[in-house]
Amino acid sequence: MITENAPAKINLALHVRARRADGYHELETLFAFVADGDTVTLAPGPLSLTVIGPFSAGLSGEGDNLVLRAARAFAATFGVAESGAFTLDKHLPVASGIGGGSADAAAALRALARANQVALDDPRLFEIAAALGSDVPACLLGRTALGRGRGEQLAPLDGPVGLPVLLVNPGVAVSTAAVFKAWDGIDKGPMPDGDVLSLALAGRNDLEAPARRLAPVIDHVLTLLAAGNPILARMSGSGATCFALYASMDDRTAAAARIRAAQTGWWCLETRLA
Ligand code: C5P
């Protein structure tokens, strides 16, 4: 049995630069990962997927999970039989801007690569990942990186490992396609140069404004996060999950306690940058 972590991704910054003719958008985005997320295990057997964990119900109506699509693409590319009994332990909220499904697909590809003696940096794995979704290559790389194109052209960076992070989701699923569609079409400029933290601080998430129009509760999340002395509070991806970075664990613990007390139904994860 092989176990792979599928950590949450956050976009420390996400600059939307242009609409493309293929329906996607040209991005510059600063990907980072946290220490916690879903877990994918692979056991021998015919191809199957069992979903367990606190957010398993969010995937119950889904016939074609990204884990199964990843496994079929792996088999076709590497000329092996479609197989593997996958268990997905779902701890990340679904459709929430922190790459849960992408992280699961990337973890499935890593597990299959290990089971079949394929190197984890094999370019064919990254081609499969890019075909599965724009964030899957970043999740396969699994480390801080600048992403361009759809997000699949990756340049690794050294990030501030260990920095305390709080993730907050108000329980509203947001469609990535709908948020991109609601972008105002105005290029607000490139990512500046600098180290990861200064890039994040100087950057923006251009999807925040359209996501806030579609899901106004995001305003409330960001207001509560901003009140808790963060280094930075911002929405991740297309939302609705927002993150805050803190100078100390104490600041993070205090902020999480305040938000949990005020909003008992919201999802809060206290973690740190990986
Ligand atoms: O690539 P993925 O399937 O995750 O993207 C979901 C949707 O998000 C796309 O269908 C597209 O509408 C939008 N998208 C985009 N530009 C990107 C990434 C995603 O417009 N760079």
Q: How far, in Å, CA of 199 to CA of 190, rounded?
A: 11
* Residues taking part in catalysis: 9, 135
**CA of 252 relative to ligand 1 center, distance in Å:** 32
Q: Residues near 41 by Cβ (< 8 Å), separated by ≥ 6?
A: 1, 2, 3, 4, 86, 87, 89, 111
Q: Identify the CA nearest to 263 among candidates 161, 128, 171.
A: 171
**CA of 262 relative to ligand 1 center, distance in Å:** 33
- The CATH homologous superfamily of the domain defined by 164-272: GHMP kinase, C-terminal domain (3.30.70.890)
Ligand 1, atom 14, residue with closest C-alpha? 24
Ligand 1, atom 3, residue with closest C-alpha? 133
Ligand 1, atom 8, residue with closest C-alpha? 177
To test the pocket of ligand 1, the residue of 134, 150, 187 to mutate (highest count of ligand atoms within 8 Å of its CB) is: 134
Ligand 1, atom 2, residue with closest C-alpha? 133
Please state, in angstroms and as integers, the Cα–Cα distance from residue 48 to each residue in 41, 116, 136, 229, following that order.
Answer: 11, 18, 21, 45
Give phi and psi for 37, each to the nearest 5. Answer: 170, -150
Alpha helices in the chain (DSSP H): 66-78, 100-115, 123-132, 136-141, 176-181, 196-202, 208-214, 217-226, 249-262
Ligand 1, atom 13, residue with closest C-alpha? 177
| Predicted local confidence at residue 63, as pLDDT | 64
Q: Identify the CA nearest to 97 among candidates 169, 191, 17, 148.
A: 169
**CA of 116 relative to ligand 1 center, distance in Å:** 30
To test the pocket of ligand 1, the residue of 25, 176, 238 to mutate (highest count of ligand atoms within 8 Å of its CB) is: 176
User: HEC profile for 80-106?
Assistant: CCCEEEEEEECCCCCCCCCCHHHHHHH
Tokens of 112: 């299959």
> DSSP character for 40?
E
Q: Residues near 91 by Cβ (< 8 Å), separated by ≥ 6?
A: 36, 37, 38, 39, 53, 54, 55
Half-sphere exposure of 111 (CA within 13 A, CB side): 28
Q: From first to last of the 274 residues of the chain, give the pLDDT tens digit.
A: 999 999 999 999 999 999 999 999 999 999 999 999 999 999 999 999 999 999 998 887 666 799 999 999 999 999 999 999 999 999 999 989 999 899 999 999 999 999 999 999 999 999 999 999 999 999 999 999 999 999 999 999 999 999 999 999 999 999 999 999 999 999 999 999 899 999 999 999 999 999 999 999 999 999 999 999 999 999 999 999 999 999 999 999 999 999 999 999 999 999 999 9
**CA of 239 relative to ligand 1 center, distance in Å:** 13
> DSSP character for 240?
S
Q: By the 8 A CB rule, do 139 and 9 touch?
A: yes
The dihedral region occupied by 267, where left means phi > 0, alpha psi between -120 and 50, and beta the remainder, is beta
Residue 203 has a CB neighbour count (10 Å cut-off) of 23
Ligand 1, atom 20, residue with closest C-alpha? 24
**CA of 249 relative to ligand 1 center, distance in Å:** 34
Q: Where in the chain is the domain with CATH 3.30.70.890?
A: 164-272
> Which CATH number is associated with domain 2-156?
3.30.230.10
Q: Identify the CA nearest to 272 among candidates 114, 37, 59.
A: 37
| Predicted local confidence at residue 58, as pLDDT | 83
Q: Residues near 79 by Cβ (< 8 Å), separated by ≥ 6?
A: none
**CA of 151 relative to ligand 1 center, distance in Å:** 9
238 Cα nearest atom in ligand 1: 8
Residues in contact with ligand 1 (CB, 6 Å cut-off): 23-25, 27, 133-135, 150-151, 176-177, 180
Q: Where in the chain is the domain with CATH 3.30.230.10?
A: 2-156
